[in-house]
A and B are shown apart, each in its own frame.
Chain A
Amino acid sequence: MSLSIRNRALAGFLPWIVPVALLLTWQTGAQLGWITARVLPAPTDVVAAGWRLTASGELWFHLKSSFERAAIGFVIGGGLGLALGFATGLSRWLSLLLDSTLQMVRNIPHLALIPLVILWFGIDETAKIFLVALGSVFPIYLNTYHGIRNVDTQLLEMARSYGVRGFALFWHVVLPGALPSILVGVRFALGFMWLTLIVSETISATDGIGYLAMDAREFMQTDVVLVAILLYAVLGKLADISAKGLELWWLRWHPAYQRGQGA
């Protein structure tokens, strides 16, 4: 028993060794002048830069612009992907009509469209939101379509023979059956969402975290660039955690998402 407690403490401690060691090496390396501040400023300098930006309100301003872009683009793209996935998943005719085209279009890397998007929308807000929406539409479309197509036919037969039809069949059987797959799509789409946002904000912007980084680069403020990169990491992680939270709640019936509830 005491051994297992010790093992557990060790298991909690072990993953921290490498990152802490790296940080210490980085800090000492920067302080002793092995690494120049332009290449990699000391962690303490990065923290100081972060604090400075927070205190001046600059950080919140850029964070807000980026978050708004991401959210609007994701809602538009995700909503469209969901709607298309429902349409092709539920109707054989719509699937025949649309699926092969959508599968073809999804193979174009959406970032390859940047020149075209700039020609269409210029370099303002619409272009960025369009790119984010384009990045999140296909992962959600694909997983929604497959989720619906793979709903257990035995359950569908049972539900129909018990008088469940139309919208009730969709709501009680098809949608919950497809939900695990849809949520996988959501997590993929969130990844694409941040990627697209970073790229589109570094091209042309007057606000946002990408702008913060590009502006800092002009003035050789490597510490601010690092703050921006860390912000992206934190935001990406937050998005992933909230998607996981949705899974935990919506899929709480699933044995894989149950903890401590014995079978």
Chain B
Amino acid sequence: MAKQAPAKWGVGITTRNLQRQFGDLKVLKGLDLDIQAGESLVIIGRSGCGKSTLLRLLAALDEPDGGKLDFVGESEGSRDHSVRMMYQEPRLLPWKTVVENVGIGSVEPVEAKFALHEVELDSKAQNWPASLSGGQKQRVALARALAHRPELLLLDEPLGALDALTRSTMHRLIESLWQEHGFTLVMVTHDVSEAVMLADRVIVLDDGAIGLDINIRLPRPRVATDPIFVGYEARLLEYLTGVPVEPADKSLPRHKWEAARPDSGYLAISN
């Protein structure tokens, strides 16, 4: 079990004029996006902004109506890279034990056990999924994705249904596994705090196009009470809601809070 995960570089992604529409509804209106290999990108936006559609295109679960989507890596242009997705629901096969679920899609049993070890669920290997808690189920789903040694891991709001404490544990787990494996991470979420916690870069999708694109320059592991962290959160919230956000900590001088917004000027801030 002392098997070391093979060091692997994530794959980069380039989209040009990417389009997808359902009937008359244009969900993605010519999206240009470059994702660096090994980057952690978080996509946020209101419901129906096209973020899940974009994720499904990246996962090849859906085909674009126009434009280009390329994977930038060793075999450039091909879609042969291992892309794995974690869904909003765990989607475990209830008739297979936990370790069998991790091993789905011809994964060696040793690999499956190791992936389960990585999410700290060794002890549940022989259990049925029905006996696990919500958080444990999502950890199994994470192990299942990792067992394939993905170059790109897509997360479609996988933590939405979990309680705050479990979610915070999952953030640490995902972050450490991302750092260790070096895959490219693309995550969709509603949660601004989750975005700032995990992202190298956050993009806000607005009506099928990129509305805001900012880099989160914070050392890891991040602390949600850090003033700069709060500043990033406020900035994203302001963009999403259109309403200026005041810092909870009123004692913090206004100028300091403003300074905590890197690359400010993206956004016209009131007063």
Instruction: Count contacts between A and B, CB distance < 8 Å.
Output: 54
Instruction: Tell me whether B94 is interfacial, beta carbon within 8 Å.
Output: yes
Other 16 A-B pairs with CB < 8 A, given A158-B91, A162-B104, A164-B104: A155-B91, A157-B61, A159-B104, A159-B105, A161-B60, A162-B84, A162-B144, A172-B96, A172-B104, A176-B93, A251-B95, A252-B128, A253-B96, A254-B95, A261-B131, A263-B131
* List of A residues within 8 angstroms of B218 by Cβ: none
Instruction: Tell me whether B49 is interfacial, beta carbon within 8 Å.
Output: no
Instruction: Tell me whether A163 is interfacial, beta carbon within 8 Å.
Output: yes
Chain A contact patch, size range: 20 to 34
* List of B residues within 8 angstroms of A159 by Cβ: 93, 104-105
- Complex contact A164–B105 (CB within 8 A): yes
Residue among B94, B106, B148 with most chain A CB within 10 A:
B94
Instruction: Tell me whether B130 is interfacial, beta carbon within 8 Å.
Output: yes
Shortest distance in angstroms between A86's beta carbon and chain B's nearest beta carbon?
18
Instruction: Tell me whether B89 is interfacial, beta carbon within 8 Å.
Output: yes
- Chain B proximity mask over A219-263: 1 for CB below 8 Å, otherwise 0: 000000000000000000000000000000001111100100111
- Complex contact A161–B59 (CB within 8 A): yes
Residue among B61, B129, B130 with most chain A CB within 10 A:
B130
Contact among A157, A158, A163, A263 for B130, CB-based, below 8 A: A263
How many Å lie between the Cα of A251 and that of B59 in the bound state? 32
Residue among B85, B87, B105, B144 with most chain A CB within 10 A:
B105
Shortest distance in angstroms between B230's beta carbon and chain A's nearest beta carbon?
37
Instruction: Tell me whether A173 is interfacial, beta carbon within 8 Å.
Output: yes
* List of B residues within 8 angstroms of A258 by Cβ: 128, 130
- Complex contact A155–B131 (CB within 8 A): no
* List of B residues within 8 angstroms of A177 by Cβ: 95
Interface residue ranges, A against B (CB under 8 Å): 154-155, 157-159, 161-164, 172-173, 176-177, 179, 251-255, 258, 261-263
- Chain A proximity mask over B101-142: 1 for CB below 8 Å, otherwise 0: 000111000000000000000000000111100000000000
Contact among A163, A252, A255, A262 for B106, CB-based, below 8 A: A163
How many Å lie between the Cα of A173 and that of B84 in the bound state? 18
- Complex contact B105–A163 (CB within 8 A): yes
- Complex contact B95–A176 (CB within 8 A): yes
How many Å lie between the Cα of A258 and that of B95 in the bound state? 12
How many Å lie between the Cα of A84 and that of B159 in the bound state? 42
Interface size counted on chain B using CB atoms at 8 A: 21
Shortest distance in angstroms between A145's beta carbon and chain B's nearest beta carbon?
20
- Complex contact B130–A154 (CB within 8 A): no
Shortest distance in angstroms between A257's beta carbon and chain B's nearest beta carbon?
10
Interface residue ranges, B against A (CB under 8 Å): 59-61, 84-85, 87, 89, 91, 93-96, 104-106, 128-131, 144, 148
How many Å lie between the Cα of A188 and that of B135 in the bound state? 39
- Complex contact B104–A254 (CB within 8 A): no
- Complex contact B87–A154 (CB within 8 A): yes
* List of A residues within 8 angstroms of B85 by Cβ: 158, 161
- Complex contact A155–B148 (CB within 8 A): no
Contact among B59, B93, B106 for A155, CB-based, below 8 A: B93
Q: Which residue of A lies closest to B85 (CB)?
A: A161
Given contacts A155-B91, A158-B87, A253 and B130 within 8 Å (CB-CB): yes
Task: Provide 21 A-B residue pairs closer than 8 Å at the C-beta atoms, listed in order of the A residue.
Answer: A154-B87, A154-B91, A155-B93, A159-B93, A159-B104, A161-B59, A161-B61, A161-B85, A162-B144, A164-B105, A172-B93, A172-B104, A173-B93, A177-B95, A179-B95, A253-B94, A253-B96, A253-B129, A254-B130, A258-B128, A262-B131
How many Å lie between the Cα of A176 and that of B128 in the bound state? 14
Shortest distance in angstroms between A90's beta carbon and chain B's nearest beta carbon?
18
How many Å lie between the Cα of A15 and that of B212 in the bound state? 71
How many Å lie between the Cα of A154 and that of B84 in the bound state? 15
Shortest distance in angstroms between A165's beta carbon and chain B's nearest beta carbon?
9
Contact among B89, B95, B131, B148 for A154, CB-based, below 8 A: B89
Shortest distance in angstroms between B194's beta carbon and chain A's nearest beta carbon?
23
Q: Which residue of A lies closest to B100 (CB)?
A: A172
How many Å lie between the Cα of A173 and that of B104 in the bound state? 10
Q: Which residue of A lies closest to B88 (CB)?
A: A154
Shortest distance in angstroms between A10's beta carbon and chain B's nearest beta carbon?
33
Residue among A157, A161, A251 with most chain B CB within 10 A:
A161
* List of A residues within 8 angstroms of B129 by Cβ: 253
Given contacts A157-B61, A159-B104, A263-B130, A254 and B87 within 8 Å (CB-CB): no
Shortest distance in angstroms between A175's beta carbon and chain B's nearest beta carbon?
9
Given contacts A155-B93, A162-B105, A164-B105, A255 and B84 within 8 Å (CB-CB): no
Q: Which residue of A lies closest to B60 (CB)?
A: A161
* List of B residues within 8 angstroms of A262 by Cβ: 131
How many Å lie between the Cα of A170 and that of B170 in the bound state? 33
How many Å lie between the Cα of A22 and that of B94 in the bound state? 46
How many Å lie between the Cα of A253 and that of B95 in the bound state? 5
* List of B residues within 8 angstroms of A255 by Cβ: 130
